[in-house]
Every structure is written in structure tokens, then in C-alpha cells.
Chain A
Amino acid sequence: MTEPMLDIQNLSVVFGTGRLRVDAVKDVSFHVEPGASFGLVGESGSGKSTVLRAVCGLAPISGGRVMVNGQAVKSPRDKSFYRTAQMVFQDPYASLHPRHTVDRTLSEPLAIHGEKNAEARILEALREVGLGPSFRFRYPHQLSGGQRQRIAIARALILRPKILLLDEPTSALDASVQAEVLNLLDELRVRLGLTYVLVSHDLAVVAHLCDRLLVMRQGEAVEETTAAALRSGQAANEYTRALIQASQGFARDGVEPVLV
């Protein structure tokens, strides 16, 4: 068995103390093989995004162990960590600096890590995400939602990371744009040999992009299953079944879904 690219054991994340204490993630474990794609599914408040944020240092690791590429993560993360793992955020309108051109956004990581020939790297990054050089000097407000998300993906990939953390990368996009971005992500994973961890509330999106997935609810892992099992409608857990049911659209005479 190869060593996992991401190995999370008994992770818990706690915000605040005393009366304000919130246990955002409780004892969650999973691992992702190199080159695989793993999904985290759940509704708001399930802690799925917090897991990603804990991996990359935006949320504290209160308990458990996170190993990335065979090494336990250090707090604060060092520069080599950021060359291994990068993240794409949900809202393409919020994840790009409004006063920075695409060029500035893409050259920033190169400058931080002292990379040479920024010019060529930027043009290559744009090409990778299907945008031409004409986009290079645009401001975010001159881009559509889908184009912005492509820039965010280009920014995440420009340091050539091994693992990409995707936090609802398509939920703010129109359906047709979502399809384009999902195809792009699929293609990039194969071409660059990336490992994905995808967070989404949309079962269909997760099943499309990932082979294995973990269903989360209120900070806890509910069930780890495979996309194939979801497709055939098999789910051991009642909550997972409710999610599958709800993702099929509105059912007038359907089974009453589980209320939260």
C-alpha cells in the first residue's frame, strides 16, 4: 500500500472556550491516496469546510493528527507546506483581491516563493485553466464568475502543489459554468497527477468528481462510502439516504425527509 497523501486521524477542531465553546469537528478520520479524489459531504454546520481549513492552517487543530505527504503538519505551516497543498475557495467573488489584476494575483505566489521567470509561468497558468493571455491584466470585476474561479484555480496550481483542497468550488456558479469548471478540475487532476479533497453539499457533484467520500453531520463523520454505492442508492445511514432523496429533486408523494 502506498503512503497516503493526506492522512487525518481523530481530528477535532474547537473554537472558543467556556460557554462560547463550539466543537466544529469531532473526532474525524480519513485518508486520501496520492492521485485520488476524496469528497466531504454535508449541510451547513457539518464541519466539512472546517476540516479543510484545519488542514491548511486556517483553523486550529485541537486534537488528532494531520499528515500531509507523509509529514505531520507544523503550526504555523512552513513555506514547503504551501508548495504541497493549496486551496480553492467557494465564492469566486470574494477570493480574488478586488484591486489586484489577474497578473498581480498570479505573480504573488511566485514572488513569495522566489520563483524565476514569472512571465512564462503566469501565461502557462492561464493556458492551463483555459484562459488566454488577454485575461492577464484584467481586474476581477471584468471577469465572470466562472472566469474568476478559473483564475483562483490557476493561482492554486501555479506553485505546482501535490494536493488541492476544494471548498465548494462550483456552488456559486451557474449550472452550465459548473459543468465547465468540473470538467477542468477532472482534466487537471489527471494531467498534473493531483490529489483532491472536495467539499460540497451537492451529492451529485461529489459523486461526479470523487471515488470515495465521507458524509458529515454536525461535526461528526456519519458514514464513509463510495460514489458507486451512492449511485446504486446504497447507504447504510438514514441521513445519507435522506441526502440522496433530497438530491433527486422535489417529490410530491415522497417519503418525508429527515428534519434537522
Chain B
Amino acid sequence: MPSEQLAPTRPGSPMGQSIPRREDARLLTGHGHYTADVNRPGQLYAVMVRSPHAHAHIRSIRTDAARAVAGVAAIYTGTDVAGRIAPIPTAWIPPGSDLAITDHPALADTTVRYVGDGVAMVVAESLDSAREARALIDVDYEPLGAVTSVADAMREGAPRVHEGVSQNVALHWRAGSDPSAVDHAMKTAEVVVRQAIVQQRLVPNPMEPRAAVAEFDAAAEALTLWVTSQNPHIHRLLVAGVLGLAEHRVRVIAQDVGGGFGSKIACYPDEVLVAFAARDLGRPVKWVEERREHFVATTHGRDHVDEVELAGRRDGTFTALRVRTRANLGAYLSTAGPGVPTILFGLITNGPYDIPLAATEVYGLYTHTTPVDAYRGAGRPEATFLIERLVDLFAREIGMDPVAVRSKNLVTEDRFPYTNAFGITYDSGRYHASLDRALEHLDLGAFRSEQAAAARHGRLLGLGVSTYVEMCGLGPSEVAGAVGFQGGLWEHALVRVLPTGKVMVMTGISPHGQGEETTFAQVVADRLGCALDDIEVMHGDTQLVSMGWGTYGSRSTAVGGGALSVALDRVVDKARKIAAHVLEADVEDLAFREGRFAVHGVPDRSVAFTDVALKAHLAWSLPEGVEPGLEAEASYNPSNFTYPFGTHMAVVEVDPDTGDINVQRYLAVDDCGPRINPLIVEGQVRGGIVQGIGQALWEGGAYDAQGQLLTGSLMDYALPKARWLPPIETDFTETPAPHNPLGVKGVGETGTIAATPTIVNAVMDALAPMGIHHLDMPLTPERVWRAIQDARTTAPAATGGMRS
């Protein structure tokens, strides 16, 4: 059914066409309207005073000199807002995790817990005045010992981040098979490979940093908040709650948002403080984050230490998997923070492989670092990295090619829907077809010959493979509740046809670079037979859009598109009734094609959809029981997640002299179901891959022992550059999701998920002849060079996977 529905319903339909993004002309010519572009009459400017210490007591804060600066309207400290702003909540409480929920004050009261923790807010007539005053605020800190890594957080005597949280354990969560069964399988297996793996901290860097502008109408007791948000309705709920405002009098607007990658999901203290000040001072207040501020004040991603074991037989069959993870949550529980290293990670650590016994155990730990939350992929990149590294280690241990080992263990097509050891059900998949497609592009035998020939000249070539599956399209609301997400994950759409036949769509998703203003218009144009120009897709304003849960987890087209599709069905149904009335025919006798309703077999008895729209609004003559107007809304609650999958391959060369890694080829075969707009899909895939390679080779957020972020600017933190990468080759298979109306699976995160292990596996393949089997990321030249130096002086058998 889904594939049937996605097939264009008329010749010339935009469905499946690579239409350039309609939003680009606006965004690329400087006509986007971002939060920083919002200016309200009489507005004040806010800047934040942030802690320079990772952990300290605040002895005193002297603000008198700052208050004397001309133009300063107010200075707020933690004491000033205590009791007036409720603690910033987390929205994810994984069941059975004993989540140690601690207060996250909007401004620190007596203790700061990370470099960047808010200490005070200055509000002034100009940004210059605010900054001048900020420089004069004198905070007397008593520095305390800090803990920044999960390796240290649980140690005896480690500094505590929060009173009463023993060993800094924020949560302890388990999932999967009976641990004793897994243990038994490990002990009795023919082969077990084990590896300790660090998945380093990443700093999300969307082009647009965060910003907020708040305006409070005292007479109406109504707040309008412009904020860089991926989910304005969630922001409305949380900001209203924290400030004690009535939800119906809070309007949140996130018009154009310049990227998020997960970092704009969370409700931060900053937007709450800005809204608070606007109400308190009776004037609009604006705050725009600086890039250096962004590095410490916006949530980070990843930061795991994992111990993983994969058991199996010498013929290559996997029998059991055990994952033990310590995940860094930072100093406070961010909005989705606790869910990322548990639910979004631990339920899919087996990847696309059929592993009968699998268990995940996670400690989520508090540290004196910037809070960690979702970052493109959120949990699933971490899961994929572990299993993909393990598969390669296993293959090496038994002397089988990693591609053959994958092929042997991939879930076969006849097993779908497939329920894994953690109890989640993969909707559909053709994993072997994907692997085969990739091998059509890259001749494995030819590469191995080339690799061997190169080795004879001292050159190190490597091939990396990753076969991945992702759980996304978040998600069934019943499941959201069962896994402790404090919200729904359904989606809403409204389709309004105006008297002229023009169409307005209001969607609850909140695209910020994903292109749904284009893809949703394609769906509408296909279904109603109108031109793209006749359609406007609106989002990002809680006053305009009834409800929605936002854009993240590759959910927008799978779930938001589902709601849109159902709403379109309802519009067509109503229009059909009116058309039947006009044509004096039975509803069942009408065909709707190319924007016209026609009586079967009598083509000249037809009426255009636009005429029906006009008649619906005029209401001069409507059929019995049909209300005037032509619009419909739908709330769509998916019955399952979606499970896109694919195969990525990379060829790299490592320079043994310097440790430099040169990515020579990158090939991606992805399956996100049918592609509404292949051009946009391509963009998502490529961008995701580059971000994933960024983690493998260049990016890493590092703290020193005192909790100072050593990579706190773009001069230190290396984002990928286009010239470092080869052209990315892409191909697609199309396996519809059987349970959503468009059959689409989502493609926003797949590239990031697949690319990181693909690259690392390729480098490890290149280094394998030297006895190097695992290195932690980022694979900087020095790290690789050192490993080569060490390998040359150490027996090869001493490194890498071990047999039990």
C-alpha cells in the first residue's frame, strides 16, 4: 500500500522529482528571518555571565559597579531568580534507571558545576552597555575539585557534582537478554572478541548559534518568545511550566533556524531567563549567543566509554553481544539527555545483525562538564560504532573477510518484521541487497589485490565497511511513554484550501535545514493536482500550528508526512462529496486525477478541484451534511519506528611516515524508503557523512583536569573542510516502511551513523598488517603515527582483540 500511494498519481507529478529547495532562494540571498533578525520596539539586550570554573562555590557576587554603567536596566543573579523560575526540567526519565533527578537552576545559586554555567544575566539598553557591565561584575569563587571524565566520575573520592548523588551516578539502566544467559554464552563461545572503546565528546556547531527574543504583554499576560528551536511546542510547554505561565498565553516562534543537529531540542536556561526578564521589566529582551559561548553553553554530544564483547563461532556466526557503557551526561540532565545513551542507544546495539543474546548496561554519569544531549544520530551512532568495530575485530580474529562475516549475520529479508533481543521490531529491510549493491560499485577482490600490491611498496591501503540500521521516525507515542519520554511523538497537520484553490499547510514539525517546505509541497501537489507555487508550507509558530513535537530523530517526513497524508485524504474525501453533488453523480463513480474529479467513463462530466474549493467556500449549494469550507486536519500516531539501513564503504591510505589519512573513496548505499525528493535526500546523506567522518578523523571536545574546555573555539575544534574529502558516491535501494502512509523511513541521520565506523574500519584495515586493531577517535595523524611507532617496537600479538 505505501508504495502504491507514493507512486505519482498523475503525469508530471513532482513526487520523486529532484526539485531544488523552495526555501533556498530566501535563505541564500539573506532574506531568511532568523531569531537574531527579530527586533522589537524598545527592546533591551541581555548577556550572560558564565562560570570560568568547572566547580566552585560562589562566595559573593558584587554588581554595584556594573549597575552604575549607563543603560543597565537590570542584573539578575541566582539569588534574584530563586523561587521565581522553577528548575529547568529534563523530559526523559528512562524507567528502571533510578534516574537521580537534581535541580538545574536557571542561574547557579551557590555552586557552579561547569565552565559556562550561568551565574548572572545583565540586561541593558544596548549590547555595548550590557557587555561593559558584565566586565564589571565581580564574582568571588572558591574553586573546588572537578571531575570531567566518566573514567574518573565513579572513582572513590571523586568530587561530587551534586549533593547526595553517590559516585555521580545519574542513572543505571539495563536492557536485553537475561544477563546470566549472555554470560554463559560468552563463557562457552568458540570465539569472543572484546574491546574498550572511547567515543569522544563532540561539539555541535550549527551555522546559527542559539538566540532568544521575548516580549511580554502585561495586559494580556501573554508571552511571545522567538527562539532557535527544533520543537517550538515543546518549548512552549516547558517555558510556560518553568515560568508559571498559562500555556495558552505563550506563543513560541521558531521561523528560520540555521541548523540544530539536536542542539536546539533542549530547553535551555537562557531562553527562560530572557522571557523572565521581559516579563519582569515590561520590555522586550533579546539575547544572541556568541560562538565561543556556544562551545560551552550549548549541549555537547556522544562522550562514551564502552566495554564491548561479541561472541560467536569460528564459522562466523554471532551468538551473543554484551555492551557495558559509561556515558557522560554533563553537569545537569538536559531535556533529552537521559534518553540518548539509554533508549536511543541501548536497544539497538546489535545493529542489523541477528544476535540471539544481547544485553546493554549503561551508567549515565554526572561530571563537571557542559550537559550532553542529542547530536545528529543521538545514541544510534554510538551503538553502530560499537557493533561495526566489533564485527571487524571478530572477522580478523577468525580470519574471515569482514564483508563475509557481515553477510553471514545480517538479518535476512524473510525475517521481517524482525524483533531483536531488546524487543524492538525492525519494520522492513533488505540488508543483503544493500550490501550486494555496494559490492557492485566496489570490486572487493580487485581492491584486495591492489591493497596487497601497495603493501609490497610499503603503502598502507585499507577498506572499511559498515552495514547499519537506524531506529528513527520517532515514534509511537505509546512507546514514548513506555520508555519514559515525557511527551508524545505523534504529529499534526492541517491542510486548508482557500477559495482560489491555493493551499496552506500547517505542520507540527519544525524544519531547520531539512527542506520540508519543498517535500511537503511535493506531496500536496501530487495529491491535489495543484502547482507547487499554489502551496505554502508553514511551521514553527505555536499560534499558527495547532500542535506538534518538532524535528529530530529523522521523524519529520515519516511522522509529519504521515499526518499530512491523512489530512490530504480527508480534504480529497470532502472535495469528492462536493464534486459528486456538482456533477450529480455518485461519490463512488468519481475518479480524481490531475486535479479534476470526473465521472468514470464520461470524461466531459468533470469539475476542477479549484472549482470545488470555490464552491465549498461559497456554500451556495452543498450536499446534505457537508459543512462549508475545505480544510482538514489530522493527528498521526505511528505504529512503529522506522528503520532505514544501508551499506557504506571507504578506501583510505595511511602515510606511515606522518600518520596522515587520505580518504580516497567513499561510497554510500542507503535505503530510506521511497525518496520524495532525491536531491534533498542526497544533500542529507552527504552532509551526514561529512559529519560522521568529522568524528572519525578530526573532531574532539577535550577537557583538562580542571574542567576547562581545551577545544573551545573554531581555532581549536576542527570541523570538516570540503577539500579534505573525495567526491562522495551515492546509490539507493528503496524498501518502503510498511506502516506509514508515505512509506518513508527518514534520512537525516543515516550518513552520520554509518560514516564514523566506515572510516575507522578502513584505517584499521590499513593498519592491520602492523598488528594494530583498534584506535580511539579522532584518528589524528599523531595518534596514528604513535600507534605505528609503538607497533614497530611491540609484538603484534599484544594488541587488539583477544580470544577467551
A and B interact physically:
no
